[in-house]
Each structure stands twice: as C-alpha cells, then as structure tokens.
Amino acid sequence: MPDTLTVIDNRTGEQYEIPVERDMIRAAELRKIKVKPDDFGLMAYDPGFANTASCKSAITDLDGDQGILRYRGYPIEQLAQRSTYLEVAYLLVHGELPTKPQLQSWINNITHHTLLHEKTKKLMEAFHYDAHPMGMLVSTIGALSTFYPDSRNTQDYETRLLQVYRLIGLMPTVASYAYRNSMGLPYVYPDPALSYTGNFLNMMYRMAEPRYQPDPVLERALDVLFILHADHEQNCSTNAMRSIGSSMADPFVATAGAAAALYGPLHGGANEAVLRMLRSIASIDKVPGYIERVKNGEMRLMGFGHRVYKNYDPRAKIIKETAHQVFEVTGRNPLIDVALELERIALEDEYFVSRKLYPNVDFYSGLIYEAMEFPTNVFTVLFAIPRTAGWLAQWMELMADPELRIARPRQDYTGYEKRDFVVLEAR
C-alpha cells in the first residue's frame, strides 16, 4: 500500500494524492486543492495547534495516552532518580549524556556565568515593592539582551552555546534577586562551591551566616523538581521560544517571551493557582462542594487536565513521592490532605473520568515549594528556571534545522470586505 492519502474534493470531483510521512501530511500539500486555478488553495484550521506538528524535534518524547515522558530517549523516572539537573540540561542541549570531563566543563561554564552585571541590580531596584517576581524575571531577562549584544549573532554555533551557559547560569540569580528585591533584602552573590540548586537556595535564603549550607534533602528535592520541569516538547512557552527565535531575535528576548507565556495560569502559573485553590478549600470536608462547583463550570480544578496527557502525568507521580521526603525535613504541609482528597474524588468522578482529567505536574509541586518556604508568587519562577534548559535546547535545535522558516501562521479572515473611510464629522 502506498504511503499516501487520497482526497476527493466533492466541490470539484477532483482527486488528489497527498504523501503521508510518519503519520503526517505536509499542510502545504493541501494548497494544491483548489476550486479555481487562482484560488489560494485549502488550508488547515487549527486553533491552539491541537493537531498540528510545528517542527521535527529529537528532544522530548511524550506519549500522553500512555503517560510516558522521555528526554532524548531516557525515561523521566530514571533521570529523576539517578541524574542531576545540570546533567539533564546537558543531555537536552547536546543530545547525549556527558562524559565526566564534558560534565565538569559544562558545570564550570555555567557556574562561571552566574554573576549578574552590577547595573542589572539597579534596574531591578526600580520595580515596585509588590511587583510579581515573574514580571521582574521576564523584564530582566529581556533587558539582559542589551548587556550581551553579541547574542544577536544567532548564526554562529559557539556564540549560541555561550548564550546557553549565560542563560542557564543567570536564571537562578535573576530569580533570587527578584525575590530578595520584593522582600527588601540585600542581594546574595552566587557561591560557586555549591551545586546549582544549592546555590539558588543560598541566593534566596542566606541571611547573616558567613556561609549558607543547604539541607541536602531539600537541595536534592529541588534538583529533582528541576529535572521534571526541564522540558516538555511543544508547549505554549516553548512554542513562543521557537516562534520568537525563528525571526533570528537573540535568545535573551526569546527566553523572556517564553517566560511570559509560562506566566499564565493555564500554563506554568498553574502551580501558584493550585496553592491558592487549596488554601481557599482549606479542609477535607469542603472538597465535595468544591468539586461540584467545578462540575457546574464555575471554575477549573487547577493542576488537573492537560492538552497531551490523557493519563496520569508521570511527573505528578514523582512529585507526590518527593513531597513525602520533603515533609520529613520541613514537617507535613496540611494542605496535602486536601490535595489527596481532591485527587481521590476527582479520579472516581464521571466528569473527570470521561474527560480524562488527571493531576498534572503543577498539582503537587506547590505543596513542596510552600513547605520549603518559597512564597506563592515565586512558584512560577521555580518552573521558569529549569525550563530554561528546555527552551534553549529547542532553540538550538531550531537554529540548526534545515527546514527553519519564520513562524507565520495563516488566518481565516472574517472581517469586512473593502469599505471607504468616513471622515470624523460624518460618522
């Protein structure tokens, strides 16, 4: 059987053969389907890109029906158990696990780029005391583009790689400065002797002690959370990263754009929304009433549902286990009982079962963050830091893609036909 699709256009009776490759057709093939020779040709209409592959990618493999997530072929469960965030970042960007010397040089390069230009601090001080940390992060990462004008040379591989070191290195510094700024606390400089997550905790929480020593359990838990958040193929923010990158804009502004997309409550902002929801429910006896309101369409159950997962999100499973390890150090977060009850009822309820709505990555992560004393408005920043590796890996892949073209979707114009301008006095 040929790998083609036979399409009969009932408007004309014409028959077309469209090649099928890897269970896809090239949307441009539809253009040959026309009623009149000067027609534009058929287009695919797909709001939200629900059934459109925008690129070929060898980075993250996601099977939403099976609940499978793999980075470069390695199952997320194995990486969460045996790897570290920086090793995973290398894997995402370079495609293979590093050798010992490769990993050491990667860590050195990233650590070397954790210091922010002093002027950035002044820039951040201009934000109002109650500025949302994501707003500060987005603006500051965008502003870094002006400090690194060489980053505009997107055609050169070595220059691109340098921006990867800079962005992965600087993200925790910008994030912690945003937090310290909002708390009116002095900034803490990076400590190169600590791990990536250990240093982040140092920059967030160090007070008067001469040297900050992170709790090893919390440091590892945060590293596991960073691994789980590192990439998730063509989600809303990654799509923004690729879209901006496709115009050859520098990776700082592209990352700022991706972080802006992450900010929304339907994407990375969901972890913050989940915690606010759990707090508003407050006790187990209120859970059934809340579920009813969700079913009546009054609100969404935040941290539930996913465009791709129609099964339990494998990341949520790992986070749930990690939560218990964290609680052994921090004490149990009582909201976990509300979350467990919500999950129990939802997974038995016809509304959620029929729509295949399961807990996603954001459902339990906020409970851990809260137990680790991160303020709620910092949660999405904790998503943005690790996702930077994924955004950059996707951007590196895009820049080397022989099929790279500027992202430019079509539209179905539904507005007026031509009409003549009417002067103000005559309206």
Q: Is 31 in the site for ligand CMC (CB under 6 A)?
A: no
Q: How far is the CB of 313 from ligand CMC (least distance, A)?
A: 7
- How far is C-alpha 100 from the chain's CA centre? 28
Q: Which of residues 230-259 bind ligand CMC (CB under 6 A)?
A: 235
Query: Under a CB-based contact definition with an 8 Å cutoff, are residues 90 and 98 in contact?
Result: yes
Q: How many helices (H) and strands (E) does the chain have?
A: 17, 5
DSSP structure class, residue 24? B
Q: Is 294 in the site for ligand CMC (CB under 6 A)?
A: yes
Which one of 112, 344, 355, 410 is in contact with ligand CMC (CB under 6 A)? Answer: 355
Q: How far is the CB of 346 from ligand CMC (least distance, A)?
A: 9
Query: Under a CB-based contact definition with an 8 Å cutoff, are residues 213 and 317 in contact?
Result: no
Q: How far is the CB of 227 from ligand CMC (least distance, A)?
A: 15
Q: Is 291 in the site for ligand CMC (CB under 6 A)?
A: no
Active site residue 128: no
- From 105-113, 238-246, 305-313, 396-404, span contacting ligand CMC (CB under 6 A): 305-313
Q: How far apart are CA 218 and CA 200, in angstroms?
A: 12
Active site residue 306: yes
Active site residue 362: yes
Q: Is 361 in the site for ligand CMC (CB under 6 A)?
A: yes
Q: Is 293 in the site for ligand CMC (CB under 6 A)?
A: no
Q: At 359, which amino acid appears?
A: P
Q: How far is the CB of 201 from ligand CMC (least distance, A)?
A: 23
Task: Please state, in angstroms and as integers, the Cα–Cα distance from residue 103 to each residue in 23, 87, 125, 176, 216, following that order.
Answer: 37, 7, 35, 25, 21
* Binding map of ligand CMC across residues 49-88, x = CB under 6 A, - = no contact: ----------------------------------------
Q: Is 219 in the site for ligand CMC (CB under 6 A)?
A: no
Tokens of 380: 């999405």
Tokens of 162: 């340098």
Q: At 133, which amino acid appears?
A: P
Q: Is 366 in the site for ligand CMC (CB under 6 A)?
A: no
Q: How far is the CB of 281 from ligand CMC (least distance, A)?
A: 14
Query: Under a CB-based contact definition with an 8 Å cutoff, are residues 305 and 357 in contact?
Result: yes
Q: How far apart are CA 384 and CA 7, in angstroms?
A: 44
How are beta strands 68-71 and 74-75 bridged, if at all? antiparallel
Q: How far apart are CA 245 and CA 397, in angstroms?
A: 11
- Helix residue ranges, H only, 148-195: 157-183
* Bridge partners, 7 (sequence order): 16
In the bound state with ligand CMC, the residue whose beta carbon lies nearer, of 353 and 400, is 353
* Catalytic residue of the set 132, 232, 306, 313: 306
Tokens of 345: 């009822």
- How far is C-alpha 371 from the chain's CA centre? 22
Which one of 302, 326, 393, 396 is in contact with ligand CMC (CB under 6 A)? Answer: 302
Query: Under a CB-based contact definition with an 8 Å cutoff, are residues 181 and 125 in contact?
Result: yes
- How far is C-alpha 5 from the chain's CA centre? 35
Query: Under a CB-based contact definition with an 8 Å cutoff, are residues 300 and 342 in contact?
Result: no
- From 80-88, 246-254, 303-311, 328-336, span contacting ligand CMC (CB under 6 A): 303-311
Which one of 133, 305, 366, 390 is in contact with ligand CMC (CB under 6 A)? Answer: 305
In the bound state with ligand CMC, the residue whose beta carbon lies nearer, of 121 and 300, is 300
Q: How far is the CB of 308 from ligand CMC (least distance, A)?
A: 8
Q: Is 319 in the site for ligand CMC (CB under 6 A)?
A: no
* Catalytic residue of the set 267, 337, 349, 401: 267
Q: Is 89 in the site for ligand CMC (CB under 6 A)?
A: no
With CB under 6 A as the rule, give the number of residues binding ligand CMC.
Answer: 19
Active-site residue set: 267, 306, 362
Residues that bind ligand CMC (CB under 6 A): 235, 266-268, 270, 294, 300-307, 355, 357, 360-362
